[in-house]
């Protein structure tokens, strides 16, 4: 089976989707001729022509607004916002329009589209190339939100997202794009080509939305994570020797509550982990659900390990990033908590 980086897997997903369905169109800033600043759409214009993969003016509201119009016509646009940090001009189109089109027209018009965007830090991108705005999407009824953690999932989830009848936000952790990243920024790491999850089938397959997966079985504590943080969780479990179970959510909405509940009922302890800021982050939702559904199984309060409630700094990136050291401390604390 071919080995792919995250970028290659994402490109392959669009390639497969465009090959199977003429209605799939791909556009965004620098996406056409050049193939995207991260090269995720490289070669698609050559293969499918300029009317199916093209460069957009620098207008995120324009990109999403026209994509909604195309979706209303019957196409399946898969558009790229160059960085999640630049989606704000499109936020009105996403929240007020894409998310509600089916509802407000009673299914008369629908919005089958995917909005891809690189997310997260770890590349010294400063405050405008590092944000994790997933909670701004999960809070909106009508949107589905996906954050893959590896090439295999990225491709399967993206194909599923493109085939989905509703608008899907597809957040691509840019720290994982080329890999390698094993949770530690300051230690040698394994390249994607040596990771099992970089084995990606050439052709069509899907990873269904709404299904979490256990990345590491453990009995002591459940770590609920997604995207880049899955790798941090695995590293911290390794470092501390604490027998943590690592749940990779993959899809935030719809959420695989059963997987979470099953794990926490087994371990009795839960840490929620994300790179985004703490206050009103998706971790708050997860902690509330665990409390509601697993209260009588809990042996310690649910903990959240997240980015600080500040903009993402440049020089102090790794002091901001909730890495294995911070998570390791939380793991030790939660094991001692009674």
Ligand X SMILES: Cc1ncc(C[n+]2csc(CCOP(=O)(O)OP(=O)(O)O)c2C)c(N)n1
Q: Does 58 bind ligand X (CB under 6 A)?
A: yes
Q: Does 89 bind another protein (CB under 8 A)?
A: yes
129 belongs to the catalytic site: yes
**Stretch of residues binding ligand X (CB under 6 A), selected from 82-90, 93-101, 115-123, 135-143:** 82-90
- CB-based contacts of 4, cutoff 8 Å, min separation 6: 12, 151, 155, 192, 198, 200
Alpha-carbon distance 24 to 18, whole Å? 5
Mapped onto helix, strand or coil, the DSSP state of residue 80 is: strand
Mapped onto helix, strand or coil, the DSSP state of residue 183 is: coil
Q: Sheet containing 24-28: which strands, arranged edge to edge?
A: 53-55, 24-28, 76-80, 114-119, 168-173, 144-146, 251-253
E runs forming strands in 81-206:
114-119, 144-146, 168-173
- Contact pick of 3, 20, 23, 37 for another protein (by CB under 8 A): 37
Give the chain's end-to-end CA distance (angstroms, integer): 47
**Stretch of residues binding another protein (CB under 8 A), selected from 54-62, 102-110, 149-157, 234-242:** 54-62
Q: How far is the CB of 66 from ligand X (least distance, A)?
A: 16
Q: Which is nearer to ligand X, 86 or 91 (CB)?
A: 86
Which residue of this chain has its Cβ atom nearest to ligand X in the complex? 86
Site for ligand X in 83-102 (CB under 6 A): 86, 89
Q: How far is the CB of 323 from another protein (least distance, A)?
A: 12
Which one, of 62, 6, 3, lies nearest residue 36 by Cα? 6
Q: Does 284 bind another protein (CB under 8 A)?
A: no
Q: How far is the CB of 39 from ligand X (least distance, A)?
A: 15
- Contact pick of 5, 41, 82, 240 for ligand X (by CB under 6 A): 82
Q: Which is nearer to ligand X, 116 or 155 (CB)?
A: 116
User: 210 exposed, middle or buried (CB, 10 Å; 0-12, 13-18, 19+)?
Assistant: middle
Site for ligand X in 241-270 (CB under 6 A): none
- CB-based contacts of 2, cutoff 8 Å, min separation 6: 199, 200, 201, 202
Give the pair of three-digit tokens for residue 73.
């016509």
- Contact pick of 3, 20, 23, 62 for another protein (by CB under 8 A): 62
Q: Which is nearer to ligand X, 58 or 191 (CB)?
A: 58
E runs forming strands in 20-146:
24-28, 53-55, 76-80, 114-119, 144-146
Task: Give the residues lining the site for ligand X (CB under 6 A).
Answer: 29, 58, 60, 82, 86, 89
Task: Give the residues lining the site for another protein (CB under 8 A).
Answer: 29-30, 32-34, 37, 50-51, 54-62, 85-86, 88-89, 124-129, 278-279, 308-311, 313-316, 319-320
Q: Which residues are catalytic?
A: 129
């Amino acid at each position: 089976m071919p080995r792919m980086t995250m970028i290659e897997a994402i490109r392959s997903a669009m390639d497969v989707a465009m090959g199977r369905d003429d209605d799939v169109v791909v556009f965004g800033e620098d996406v056409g001729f050049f193939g995207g600043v991260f090269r995720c759409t490289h070669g698609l214009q050559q293969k499918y022509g300029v009317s199916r993969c093209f460069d957009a003016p620098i207008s995120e509201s324009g990109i999403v607004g026209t994509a909604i119009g195309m979706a209303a016509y019957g196409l399946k646009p898969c558009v790229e916002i160059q960085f999640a940090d630049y989606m704000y001009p499109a936020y009105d189109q996403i929240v007020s329009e894409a998310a509600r089109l089916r509802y407000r027209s009673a299914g008369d018009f629908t919005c089958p589209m995917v909005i891809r965007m690189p997310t997260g830090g770890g590349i010294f991108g400063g405050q405008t190339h590092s944000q994790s705005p997933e909670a701004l999407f999960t809070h909106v009824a009508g949107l589905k939100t996906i954050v893959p953690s590896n090439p295999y999932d990225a491709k399967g989830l993206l194909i599923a997202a493109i085939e989905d009848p509703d608008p899907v936000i597809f957040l691509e952790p840019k720290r994982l794009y080329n890999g390698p990243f094993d949770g530690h920024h300051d230690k040698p790491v394994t390249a994607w080509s040596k990771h099992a999850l970089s084995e990606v089938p050439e052709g069509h397959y899907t990873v269904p939305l709404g299904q979490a997966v256990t990345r590491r079985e453990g009995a002591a504590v459940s770590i609920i994570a997604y995207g880049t943080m899955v790798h941090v969780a695995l590293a911290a479990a390794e470092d501390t020797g604490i027998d943590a179970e690592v749940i990779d959510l993959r899809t935030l909405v719809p959420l695989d509550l059963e997987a979470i509940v099953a794990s926490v009922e087994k371990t009795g302890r839960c840490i929620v982990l994300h790179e985004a800021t703490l206050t009103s982050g998706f971790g708050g939702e997860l902690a509330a659900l665990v409390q509601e559904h697993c209260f009588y199984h809990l042996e310690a309060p649910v903990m959240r390990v997240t980015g600080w409630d500040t903009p993402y700094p440049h020089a102090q990136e790794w002091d901001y990033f909730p890495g294995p050291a911070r998570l390791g401390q939380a793991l030790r604390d939660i094991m001692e908590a009674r």
